[in-house]
Amino acid sequence: MTPFRLTLPLLALLLVAGCDFQAASSPPDAEAPRSKIEGLALSPGELVLHLAGEGEGSDVFPSRGTLRAAPFPATATASLVWRSTDPAVATVNAAGMVSAVATGTTEIKALVDGGPAATASITVLDRGKANITLH
């Protein structure tokens, strides 16, 4: 009977020693692993803004608008850099807020370092003038 009593504690010790306690010892606030961004979309894809003129813009004639970037896959995370191809027409800040500067058209690009880019078309109109397009 003695060999059986020694073997059972030895077996239990081997099982405990072979367990992976890494997951149990991870802090509860540890970051989830980041996945690489494979694609990027901007919403809205087109934005029409108006020069504010006197005072700020309004809901009817907005002089600012916000672009939102949606990465693919949705769990992917990365830092975005926003750029205007013509800052003389519209500028963009780090949060994707686009501000009208002068009439014209430009593009706003959201770029991921070493990854994809997405583009939105921006048109800035002068709300004091009639803007009629004939097709």
Of the pLDDT bands very low, low, confident and very high (cuts 50, 70, 90), residue 128 is low
φ, ψ (nearest 5 deg) of residue 19: -75, 150
Q: pLDDT tens across 72-86, in order? A: 888 887 788 999 999
Q: Does the domain formed by 39-125 have CATH 2.60.120.620?
A: no
User: Are 106 and 122 spatial neighbours (Cβ–Cβ below 8 Å)?
Assistant: yes
The pLDDT, as a whole number, for residue 129 is: 61
Shortest CA distance to 81 belongs to which of 66, 91, 96?
96
Q: pLDDT tens across 5-63, in order? A: 545 454 444 444 454 444 444 455 555 555 788 899 999 999 999 997 555 545 567 89
Ranges of each domain in the chain:
39-125
The pLDDT, as a whole number, for residue 37 is: 83
Buried b (16+ CB within 10 A) or exposed e, 55-65: eebeeebbbbb
